[in-house]
Structure 1
Amino acid sequence: MFNIDSSEFLLVALVALVVIGPKDLPKAMRVVGYWVGRARAVGRQFRAGFDEMVREAELEEMEKKWKAENERIMREHPMIPPPPPEPASGEHAPAQIEHTPTDASLAPPHGAPAHEDHPPVMVEQPRVVPGAPDVPPAADSKAAS
């Protein structure tokens, strides 16, 4: 990184030993290591933020290209609904039946009250759970109490 040869590094280590002294040299090396680590962490964080900005810019550019290409394709090939299927030879097309409710179909079933102020009661059907043991409803209510 700094192009330091081993002889240059040895010279720097000897000067540090003479200037700082053998007693305080380990403490000085720890402080230098701490600050080098902090500098590397800041550099990694800066690099990660810069890479993220570049990635977002590239993504926006690609989205613009995709949108323009999609619009071009949609102009060239407009959506046309498919024609209805033709019946096979010898077959007749089924008649379209529309169901319109009559007064009789709106009437309550036989035996039910015909009062408008009392809506029909909805009865919940039991659910079947695969793998569950078969328990009759009466036994289920007794077990719950």
Structure 2
Amino acid sequence: MFDFAPTHLLIFALVAIVFIGPKDLPRVMRVVGQWVGKGRAMARHFRSAMDEMIREAELAEMEQKWKAENERIMREHADLISGTTAPAEALPAPAARPAVAAEAGEAPHPVEPPLEPAAPVRQPPEA
């Protein structure tokens, strides 16, 4: 849309020199630069506001999905929450537990004695 080729810029410069004059050209270029800067700032502000609105909309959508998923999980596991137990056939099979040393016929591991203090503890003199 705003595609400027180097030849277009050269034509604009020549027209500006002819109609504005070389004396006022720096002042006009400064004003044009300020306008361009204000336009870019407005575009940047608009873009950041739009990005913020999109982010808020995405967060709201994610919160709705999380709420729906939470409600689904709560419905599925209502028996666990209410304190009632499910029928035995509905419960998963227990995992095989590892054999304890005593059941396996091995001697239990000895318990290590507590560590002694490094320096003897002084007793206060009796009066």
> How does the TM-score come out when normalised to structure 2?
0.60
* Identity across matched positions, percent: 65
Q: What is the aligned-residue RMSD (CA, Å)?
A: 1.9
2:66 corresponds to which residue? 66
1:119 corresponds to which residue? none
Q: Which runs of 5+ in 1 are unaligned?
A: 82-145
> How does the TM-score come out when normalised to structure 1?
0.53
Which portions of structure 1, spanning 4 or more consecutive aligned residues, are displaced by more than 2 angstroms? 78-81
Alignment deviations for residues 2-60 of structure 1 (CA, whole Å, 9 cap, x no partner): 21111111011000011110011001000000010001101111111111111111111
Residue 77 of structure 1 and its aligned partner are, at CA, apart by 1.6
Q: Which runs of 5+ in 2 are unaligned?
A: 84-127
2:56 paired with 1:56: yes
More divergent stretch after superposition (3-12 vs 72-81):
72-81
2:87 corresponds to which residue? none
Alignment deviations for residues 94-118 of structure 1 (CA, whole Å, 9 cap, x no partner): xxxxxxxxxxxxxxxxxxxxxxxxx
Residue 74 of structure 1 and its aligned partner are, at CA, apart by 1.1
CA distance in 1 between partners of 2:3 and 2:40 (Å): 18
Read off the aligned partner of 2:6 and give its amino acid letter. S
CA distance in 2 between partners of 1:36 and 1:44 (Å): 12
Read off the aligned partner of 2:35 and give its amino acid letter. W
Read off the aligned partner of 1:25 and give its amino acid letter. L
1:3 corresponds to which residue? 3
1:33 corresponds to which residue? 33
SS of the residue 1:23 aligns to: coil
Read off the aligned partner of 2:36 and give its amino acid letter. V
CA distance in 2 between partners of 1:28 and 1:54 (Å): 39
2:47 corresponds to which residue? 47
